[in-house]
Structures are given as C-alpha cells and as structure tokens.
Amino acid sequence: MLGEKHDLIHEFPELEGKIEAMRESNEPFASLMDQYDDLDSRVRKLEELGTPVADETIEELKKQRLLLKDQLYELLRP
C-alpha cells in the first residue's frame, strides 16, 4: 500500500518498550534506527507524492529499508 507506515514500532508493536529503551541507551542501535527512519521517510514521500522515479530505484530503497529492519530486529531479539 502506498504511504504505508513501516516505522519499527508499527512493525513490532510488542517490542515498543525495548525499542525505546535501546534507542536511548545503545548508540549503534540508535544510529541504525535513524538510518531506517530516514529511509522509510524517503520511500513514503516518493510513494505519496507520486514523484516520477524508476521502479528499480524505489525497489532498491525498499530493499535497503528491509535490510536495516532485519539488522534492527536481530539487535532486538531476546
């Protein structure tokens, strides 16, 4: 869906407390979160504005977002 929220708390609502705690106390995690949030924002803006962009470009951004989400989830896992 276009403009769908993919921020980490929407993706993993059951981990909201842990996400917030790690963002405050773990600099590498916070840095990855910032990268993820920036990339998610870029993707959503491109989708919502209907900005002409090659399919390959938007797909590459989505792949990068997915890789960051996987890295973040690995850090969140108990």
DSSP the chain: -TT----HHHH-GGGHHHHHHHHHH-HHHHHHHHHHHHHHHHHHHHHHHT----HHHHHHHHHHHHHHHHHHHHHH--
Q: What is the pTM of this model?
A: 0.84
pLDDT score at 51: 72
pLDDT score at 36: 96
The pair of three-digit structure tokens given for residue 14, joined into one six-digit string? 């059951």
pLDDT score at 3: 55
CA 34 from centre of chain: 8
What Å distances lie between residue 54 and 41, 58, 60, CA to CA?
18, 7, 10
pLDDT score at 2: 53
Per-residue pLDDT of the chain in tens (78 residues, 90 and over written 9): 455 667 888 889 999 999 999 999 999 999 999 999 999 999 988 888 877 788 898 899 999 999 999 999 999 987
